[in-house]
Chain A
Amino acid sequence: RPLRSDATDSRAPPPWSPPAPLAQQHTMLRRVAPPLRRALASSAVPHRGGARLLDPGLSSPHALPPQWRRWASAAAASSLPPPPPSPPQGPPRHAGGGSAASSLNPAEVAKFAAIAETWWDSQGPFKPLHLMNPTRLSFIRSTLCRHFRRDPYSAKPLEGLKVIDVGCGGGILSEPLARMGATVTGIDAVDKNIKIAHIHAASDPTTASIEYCCTTAEDLVKENKQFDAVISLEVIEHVANPLEFCQSLSALTVPNGATVISTINRSMRAYAAAIVGAEYILRWLPIGTHEWSKLVTPEELVLALQRASISVEEMAGFFYNPLTREWSLSDDTSINYIAYGIKKSEAPSATPQ
């Protein structure tokens, strides 16, 4: 079990205790590289929101003012407090209270609600996503074409496929997928995002058919919805419980369907590039967008998906060249990376392999 729960979430499950049989866990750990083993072992103790290493200290989600800078400075000014018991403000929608199945972190949800209008401003806070979008779409196109045996030279290779974009935001990914012929459903926790996505998609007949819902992955699982391809890009680093999020994504995928997840690696290079570089120096993203402690390494993601009966087939990294100002795919997964997996066709077994 590589991922620790976020204890700052008021609806978080109780502190983690290792599942039986422990012997199998240790066997698995021995086969893993030493740095990862240390990470897995140390994650057995629930944190109070701080990472092992230097962290901007922005993990306290209480007191949510609209400006992120004010939020950042308020959090930095106070010492690391115990997790707040008060319910969060902001417009996140949860399916009933008390259920540990929700993967939403209200703090994260509120972060995105604050900048919802700027989704389609390609120079605004979502500029890096707009710049990165074509590169991740080319990965998705090539893996899905191969998975579903489609002609890669077709203009609409995803024709007839049901695809869901989990955490669609303003629809930056959903619209190109629809243009590639897929039947797209986009879901997001922030209602404003859904509204903006809907309006923007209506202006092009190919994208006007996208179905947008303000809901969560868990709710759709409860409704027994399934899709040929489940895509969730740059979301898992913002959810409360990544392990359960992977389980939900897997439940949404039909057997032998495809799952694509992208996120940022929890490495020193990623801290330098994606947090210090992108947030503080280049000011591409508002400060506090990403918390280093919540980032997921590729190994952790693979293990989490394995538990959810998805076997990761391909992984690629994204590399940004500051001279040409272009993103490109590479083998280097140390900062941004994307993974494509196939859901096993039989029911997931209870014990880990």
Chain B
Amino acid sequence: FSPKPQVLRRGGSDPEGLEGLLQRAGGSVRAAGTLPLREDGLEKVGGVRAGDDELDVAIVGGGMVGLAVACALSNMPLTKHLRVAVIDSNPALKSTNYLKKDGIPDSRVSTVTPATISFFRDIGAWEHILQQRHAFFGKMQVWDYTGLGYTRYNASDVCKEYLGCVVENKVLCNSLLLRLQEQKEDIEKMVYPTRLVSLAFPSKSRNVGVAGLKPPSTEAEELRRSNLVKLDLSDGQTLYSKLVVGADGSKSNVRQIAGIKTTGWSYPQSAIICTVEHTAENDTAWQRFLPSGPIALLPIGDNFSNIVWTMSPEEASRHKSMSSEDFVMSVNRALDFGYGPHPNSSSLDHYVERLFSDFGGTAASTKECFEVPPRAIGLISERMAFPLSLMHSHDYVSKRLALVGDAAHTVHPLAGQGVNLGFGDAAALAKVISEGVSVGADIGDLSLLNRYENDRKGANVAMAAVLDGFQKMYSVDFGPLNVLRAAAFHGAQYISPLKKNIISYAMGDRKSPLFS
């Protein structure tokens, strides 16, 4: 599937107005001697009507990535007519108002990269996020407990205005829902507030061959349905769909039913997340690697920041159960003077900086000094703890099935990339479905879905490997390795071209950190 019509020799293009006029007139330049337009509507063909329970795309899981797929499909001109349904029992999917900004920020937040932001802009959901709480940040500082080095990143290094934006997950979901509501009037019918109980993929055994006893319409219906995926829902309904999209998270039910194997391992770490308050606004993303795992402080708007602190499971349960004052003190210690000294730069660093500034210009942040992160003055949300693991599916697709988001892969949260990979999947899948519709293909066809897998698998595996590498590198306290890591910090801080590459890769603008 490589539709490239621009290669053809074109005589000239019709002005937009003429085509539109002809379309609105309901006809076309038809040669003489042909039959008039059929009176049938879209669904009734040859006397066979597709039932209300027959869908084109059934998205199992109405989280951020599942809703992003639905939104992308409803936004593209070639796919907006497809019958899409979202199956998720979360009652939040039924609410349709803007979330107020003055409430307490939720601890579950995501950092969206500029690549994801432009995807949201394309599907028309970003403007809804701008109406709710969100926080752009333009600076980032990464260092570790040894005090041997630090790296600062600035959006102006790559001539951008921001490195990313931190948004609460519920705000992301809500914006996608609001956009869907704008696109489709019958959004009520689109969301099925139930759980999926079982799936049956089409196979030869499902072909029911009872001839002659049933009326022809039922036989035709059965023949049609035997080619679709059958979804049984918990409220007793049965749906049939040409394509099932599994967006139901890391413990995906759909993936298990389809029998897709995964590879992965648990990290010996859990992450604690919570929201803290400062005296002033925080505009930088901070991350410090401690002996047991990184602690990240992300701005989420106003004077609030989100903490993601990775540590061993025992430490995690201890930190979860201690009093909030003790916890705040522990956080400040972890971000500031605890575990090791502050890093500072030496004359060697300045020499390296001058050396590399000849290649490809300086980045503004190479001159910035180390700063101490802002102090947390209070804990304003509950602390939540999650175990961390790496998981990757062997296949993203099978006949009439595609997996997106966490159902296909989970990564370590240390670089805030997880959900961005999921949104990348959603964009790629919608694009592949659109290409399939443009050549009249069956959207559940495996060769079409394989294009999605080939597009995303490489990128996702590479990112997961990079993050896994980082996790392993920073979990060992070993002299020579510490020096290596320090050298890496210094390199990333003072070698401008390398720094720009790293930033672009993390922002989603490049496919690979080293090679273009």
Closest to B1 in A: A134
Cβ contact of A155, chosen from B226, B435, B437, cutoff 8 A: B437
Cβ contact of B2, chosen from A135, A175, A177, cutoff 8 A: A135
Q: Which of B7, B48, B79, B446 has the most CB of A within 10 A?
A: B7
* Nearest-Cβ distance from residue B7 to partner chain A, whole angstroms: 5
Which residues of chain A come closer than 8 Å to B18, judged between CB atoms?
Answer: 149
* Nearest-Cβ distance from residue B401 to partner chain A, whole angstroms: 17
A160 adjacent to B32 (CB under 8 Å): no
Complex A-B, nearest 10 residue pairs according to Cβ-Cβ distance, in ascending order: A176-B440, A209-B46, A138-B3, A142-B5, A179-B440, A203-B227, A137-B439, A160-B37, A134-B1, A328-B2
Which residues of chain B come closer than 8 Å to A159, judged between CB atoms?
Answer: 37
A208 adjacent to B48 (CB under 8 Å): yes
Which residues of chain A come closer than 8 Å to B48, judged between CB atoms?
Answer: 205, 208-209
Tell me whether chain A's interface is mostly helix, strand or loop, or mixed.
Answer: mixed
A133 to B78, CA, bound (A): 19
A314 to B32, CA, bound (A): 23
Which residues of chain A come closer than 8 Å to B30, judged between CB atoms?
Answer: 148, 160-161, 228
- Identify which of B8-16, B140-148, B298-306 touches chain A: B8-16
Which residues of chain A come closer than 8 Å to B45, judged between CB atoms?
Answer: 205-206, 208-209
CB within 8 Å of B: which A105-159 residues: 122, 130-131, 133-135, 137-139, 141-143, 146, 148-151, 153-156, 159
Which residues of chain B come closer than 8 Å to A151, judged between CB atoms?
Answer: 19-20, 23
A203 adjacent to B223 (CB under 8 Å): yes
A142 adjacent to B223 (CB under 8 Å): no
Which residues of chain A come closer than 8 Å to B37, judged between CB atoms?
Answer: 159-160
Kindly state whether residue A94 has any CB partner on chain B within 8 Å. Answer: no
* Nearest-Cβ distance from residue B231 to partner chain A, whole angstroms: 18
* Nearest-Cβ distance from residue A27 to partner chain B, whole angstroms: 28
Closest to B82 in A: A155
Which residues of chain B come closer than 8 Å to A329, judged between CB atoms?
Answer: 2-5, 7-8
B440 adjacent to A331 (CB under 8 Å): no
Kindly state whether residue B35 has any CB partner on chain A within 8 Å. Answer: yes
CB within 8 Å of A: which B121-142 residues: none
A326 to B7, CA, bound (A): 16
Which residues of chain A come closer than 8 Å to B80, judged between CB atoms?
Answer: 155
A149 to B25, CA, bound (A): 12
A153 to B223, CA, bound (A): 31
Kindly state whether residue B224 has any CB partner on chain A within 8 Å. Answer: yes
Kindly state whether residue B447 has any CB partner on chain A within 8 Å. Answer: yes
A206 to B82, CA, bound (A): 13
Cβ contact of A180, chosen from B1, B42, B49, B440, cutoff 8 A: B440
Closest to A176 in B: B440
* Nearest-Cβ distance from residue B41 to partner chain A, whole angstroms: 11
CB-defined interface of A282-297 with B at 8 Å, one 1/0 digit per residue? 0000000000000000
Kindly state whether residue B118 has any CB partner on chain A within 8 Å. Answer: no
Kindly state whether residue A80 has any CB partner on chain B within 8 Å. Answer: no
Q: Please report B residues at the A interface, Cβ cutoff 8 Å.
A: 1-5, 7-11, 14, 18-20, 22-23, 27-38, 42-43, 45-46, 48-50, 77-81, 220, 223-224, 226-227, 435-442, 446-447
A255 to B31, CA, bound (A): 7
Which residues of chain B come closer than 8 Å to A154, judged between CB atoms?
Answer: 23, 77
CB within 8 Å of B: which A272-319 residues: 313-314, 316
Which residues of chain B come closer than 8 Å to A92, judged between CB atoms?
Answer: none
Which residues of chain B come closer than 8 Å to A313, judged between CB atoms?
Answer: 11
Closest to A182 in B: B440
- How many A residues have CB within 8 A of the partner chain? 55
B34 adjacent to A202 (CB under 8 Å): no
A204 adjacent to B442 (CB under 8 Å): yes
Kindly state whether residue A68 has any CB partner on chain B within 8 Å. Answer: no
Which residues of chain A come closer than 8 Å to B14, judged between CB atoms?
Answer: 146, 149
Since A134-B1, A151-B20 are in contact, a sample of 19 more A-B pairs with Cβ atoms closer than 8 Å, ordered by chain A residue number, is A134-B436, A134-B439, A137-B439, A138-B5, A141-B3, A141-B438, A150-B28, A160-B37, A179-B442, A183-B38, A203-B224, A204-B442, A205-B45, A205-B49, A254-B32, A255-B31, A256-B31, A329-B3, A329-B7
B220 adjacent to A202 (CB under 8 Å): yes
* Nearest-Cβ distance from residue B257 to partner chain A, whole angstroms: 22
A138 adjacent to B34 (CB under 8 Å): no
A142 adjacent to B28 (CB under 8 Å): no
A204 to B48, CA, bound (A): 10
A206 to B224, CA, bound (A): 10
Closest to A148 in B: B28
Kindly state whether residue A215 has any CB partner on chain B within 8 Å. Answer: no
* Nearest-Cβ distance from residue A328 to partner chain B, whole angstroms: 4
A-B contact pairs, 9 of them (CB 8 A): A137-B3, A141-B3, A148-B28, A148-B30, A149-B22, A150-B23, A176-B441, A257-B31, A316-B8
CB-defined interface of A177-207 with B at 8 Å, one 1/0 digit per residue? 1111001000000000000000000111110
A137 to B11, CA, bound (A): 20
A203 to B227, CA, bound (A): 6
A205 adjacent to B7 (CB under 8 Å): no
A226 to B33, CA, bound (A): 8
CB within 8 Å of B: which A212-270 residues: 226-228, 254-257
Kindly state whether residue A330 has any CB partner on chain B within 8 Å. Answer: yes
Which residues of chain A come closer than 8 Å to B10, judged between CB atoms?
Answer: 146
B5 adjacent to A155 (CB under 8 Å): no
A24 to B266, CA, bound (A): 82
Cβ contact of A316, chosen from B7, B38, B227, cutoff 8 A: B7
Which residues of chain A come closer than 8 Å to B436, judged between CB atoms?
Answer: 134
Q: Which of B36, B437, B446 has the most CB of A within 10 A?
A: B437
A202 to B34, CA, bound (A): 25
